[in-house]
Amino acid sequence: MAEALAKSDLLTKEQHAPAKAGLIFPRPTAKTGLVSWLTTVDHKRIGVLYATFAIFFFLVGGVEALLIRTQLLVPNNHFLGAHTYGEMFTMHGTTMIFLAVMPLNAAFFNLLVPLQIGARDVAFPRLNAFSLWVFAAGAIILNIGWLLPSGAPAAGWFGYAPLTSKLFTPDMSADLWTLGLQVLGVSSIAASLNFIVTIINMRAPGLTMMRLPVFTWMALFTSFLLVLAMPAIAIALVEVMFDRHFGTHFFEVSGGGQPILWQHLFWVFGHPEVYILILPPMGYISEILPTFSRKPLFGYPIVVFSGATIGFIGFGVWSHHMFTTGLGAVATAAFSLATMAIAVPTGVKIFNWIGTLWGGHLQMRTPMLFSLGFIWMFMLGGFSGIMHSAAPADAQQQDTYFIIAHFHYVLIGGATFALLAAIHFWFPKFFGRLVDETWGKISFWIIFAGFNGTFFPMHFLGLNGMPRRTWTYDAGMGWDGLNKFCTISAYVLGLGICIYFGTIIWSYFKGKKVGNDPWDGRTLEWSIPSPPPEYNFAAIPKVHARDAWWYEKHHQEEIRKEKAEAIAAESAHGGIHMPDASWFPLVAGVGMLVGGLGFAADHMPVAIGGLIVTFLGIYLWSLEGPGGYHIHLDKDGNATEDHSH
């Protein structure tokens, strides 16, 4: 280890390029205040910002959902207009997927991946900040329609051509949607490349791939899925943009365009997207269940391998979203079978989670309740998913409330329950305080009851023939009672979510203070103080086993010696190297925002101006050099910074 450090170029002082003089923005050195947050490259701060934005949009999407449910409270309701209703379900879907669940997962990638692999930051800290600000730009572009005369996008989160064409959506709402998603795609791809490089290259010594925590594995698979799936929708969005602005005929029916092409491109992205949403939650669950069962994950290699299998088969099942588009019997059969096949690795994960519980000492903390809730709800969602793989039966269920029930079981009962478990579980790590257990449990039971009350009856609404995206329905259809029940339950679910986040906010100020390892954790993030110092690890850990921190706790003597050696070696070579903050990721992100809005409004000078700002930001960012400074730790762990180069 010491030898490896000595050889590392990155740690020798002479190699640092001096910061260039004459740049518009010199490297900021603020550690507190607004500027420090705007220019931060610290993965933990970026993670917190991602989480804050994501939770904000999660609540916005939730309000949209409650408005939708209010409109459906009684038959023939005119609480919302038909167009407003279209905006609501379009933005509810788009927001929850792209602006809530994805960035919340990204927040946890940021917060946890470097800590779990024993690294001091991600591979490209400024690129990480860039991903964050570009995400914010995309979120603003998507939502700004609410404030404009065009209104918010209203062609559905799936944006099927030719409804998005100039002929059927003449205003700029469709442009805001295409540009917003396009910009979010840039953010996702940049972040994914960053995490792939980080996970593969920056693992601590001894942390072989088959010792990686399962969450980090899932982050890796998700990143690969994003890098491979995002280009499909990027191309499709470019085609829509060209059709709308430059008169091309990709989907333009009068010019011989093929609207079905959009569906293929969209779902080649859209189905892996489902796994992009659900694989990280499977990762949280695979960390939380072993911790509160006090034993390792059952069948670790199988869980990892089934994650890879899901990611792989996930690219071969997209047309099960299109069983009703007249694929022909052979293609329908092929996608039916592939869809059944993907249920096997998913089922295997559930068996392994149950195997993890088996023989453990289960501690029923709030994250454990959410995790067990996840298994139950995800099972229900998974089984209704298997039912859809039978294509002829799906021909009846497709685009009905049965489907809505199915995917909310996967995305709320699955992904969201896991995210709520994860927030509760890792909150003490990053804020040094426990989330209140009593109110956490109360919120769990209210959410659990509200969620099931909202979505379970939707199975029956679907079987009773209620189609999706229904602005209003007639009284004679037999749907009144269940809709009323669903709406009231949705308010209960909303109440539970309010209690949950209210508890989180209360705990931020008043929660019980805890040390580094409140749950008797198993992975490396629990080995360092809460909240972690900016350099994460005083000594880069050496990993001897899966569940590295569990091993350390049971081999303390050996580890203490190792750590002392590592610290000595590192300080002999200049101390802990830290990256400098930078303005340019933010500048590039602002450029994306201006450019995106310019394109959407068909205002070329602004559009090109925005692009120039983006490129200028990236160019100057490459000019300012890697920068960096050193932190020296004394015997008591007090840090001093050394900004000399």
| Residue 284 annotated among the catalytic residues of the structure | no
Nearer to other proteins, 22 or 256 (CB): 256
CB 99 within 8 A of CB 51: no
| Residue 39 annotated among the catalytic residues of the structure | no
SS3 of residue 207 by DSSP: coil
| Residue 264 annotated among the catalytic residues of the structure | no
- Shortest distance (Å) from residue 618 CB to other proteins: 37
Annotated catalytic residue: which of 320, 459, 522, 542? 320
- Four-CA torsion 226, 227, 228, 231, nearest 10 degrees: 100
Annotated catalytic residue: which of 87, 252, 273, 534? 273
Nearer to other proteins, 37 or 506 (CB): 506
Instruction: Quickly list DSSP for 310-345.
Output: HHHHGGG-GGGGGTTS---HHHHHHHHHHHHHHHHH
- Shortest distance (Å) from residue 21 CB to other proteins: 53
Annotated catalytic residue: which of 27, 69, 211, 321? 321
- Shortest distance (Å) from residue 19 CB to other proteins: 49
> How is residue 315 annotated by DSSP?
G
**Residue written as tokens 């990480």?**
128
Burial code of 516-526, b = ≥16 C-beta within 10 A, e = fewer? bbbbebbbbbb
- Four-CA torsion 236, 242, 243, 246, nearest 10 degrees: -170
Nearer to other proteins, 166 or 632 (CB): 166
- Shortest distance (Å) from residue 300 CB to other proteins: 6
Nearer to other proteins, 196 or 442 (CB): 442
Nearer to other proteins, 416 or 452 (CB): 452
Annotated catalytic residue: which of 85, 157, 426, 629? 157
| Residue 406 annotated among the catalytic residues of the structure | no
Nearer to other proteins, 241 or 540 (CB): 241
- Shortest distance (Å) from residue 436 CB to other proteins: 10
| Residue 643 annotated among the catalytic residues of the structure | no
- Shortest distance (Å) from residue 570 CB to other proteins: 32
Give the phi and the psi of residue 575 in degrees, each rounded to 5. 90, -170
- Shortest distance (Å) from residue 24 CB to other proteins: 42
Nearer to other proteins, 222 or 286 (CB): 286
Query: Could you give the CA distance from residue 1 to residue 190 in angstroms, rounded to a whole number?
Result: 31
Q: Is 231 exposed, middle or buried (0-12, 13-18, 19+ CB in 10 A)?
A: middle
Annotated catalytic residue: which of 346, 384, 489, 527? 346
- Shortest distance (Å) from residue 290 CB to other proteins: 10
CB 216 within 8 A of CB 116: yes
- The number of angstroms, rounded, from the C-alpha of 158 to the middle of its chain's C-alpha atoms is 19
Annotated catalytic residue: which of 43, 349, 522, 573? 349
| Residue 513 annotated among the catalytic residues of the structure | no
Burial code of 435-470, b = ≥16 C-beta within 10 A, e = fewer? bbeebbbbbbebbbebbbbbbbbbbebbeeebeeeb
Classify the C-alpha dihedral 153-155-157-160 as positive or negative.
Answer: negative
Q: What is the CA angle 414-418-421, rounded to 5?
A: 150
Give 9's contacts (C-beta < 8 A, 6+ positions apart): 15
| Residue 577 annotated among the catalytic residues of the structure | no
Annotated catalytic residue: which of 90, 173, 192, 286? 286
Annotated catalytic residue: which of 165, 169, 178, 187? 187
Query: Could you give the CA distance from residue 119 to residue 6 in angstroms, rounded to a whole number?
Result: 17
| Residue 92 annotated among the catalytic residues of the structure | yes
Annotated catalytic residue: which of 44, 69, 271, 522? 271
Element (DSSP H or E) covering residue 8: none
Nearer to other proteins, 288 or 357 (CB): 357
| Residue 188 annotated among the catalytic residues of the structure | yes
Sheet with 629-633, strands from edge to edge, namely 576-578, 629-633, 639-642
CB 504 within 8 A of CB 423: yes
The residue type at 388: H
Pick from 615, 589, 610: nearest CA to 53 = 589
Annotated catalytic residue: which of 245, 468, 553, 632? 468
- Shortest distance (Å) from residue 163 CB to other proteins: 5
Element (DSSP H or E) covering residue 631: strand 629-633
Nearer to other proteins, 345 or 591 (CB): 345
Q: In this structure, how many other beta carbons lie within 10 angstroms of the beta carbon of residue 586?
A: 20
Classify the C-alpha dihedral 513-517-519-524 as positive or negative.
Answer: positive
Q: Which residues pair with 632 in a beta bridge?
A: 640
Nearer to other proteins, 243 or 534 (CB): 243
- Shortest distance (Å) from residue 548 CB to other proteins: 13
CB 340 within 8 A of CB 385: no
Annotated catalytic residue: which of 64, 87, 121, 517? 121
Pick from 543, 460, 446, 529: nearest CA to 495 = 446
Nearer to other proteins, 389 or 523 (CB): 389
Query: Could you give the CA distance from residue 273 to residue 229 in angstroms, rounded to a whole number?
Result: 7
| Residue 346 annotated among the catalytic residues of the structure | yes
- The number of angstroms, rounded, from the C-alpha of 250 to the middle of its chain's C-alpha atoms is 31
- Shortest distance (Å) from residue 509 CB to other proteins: 20
Residues that are catalytic: 92, 121, 157, 187-188, 271, 273, 275, 286, 320-321, 346, 349, 468
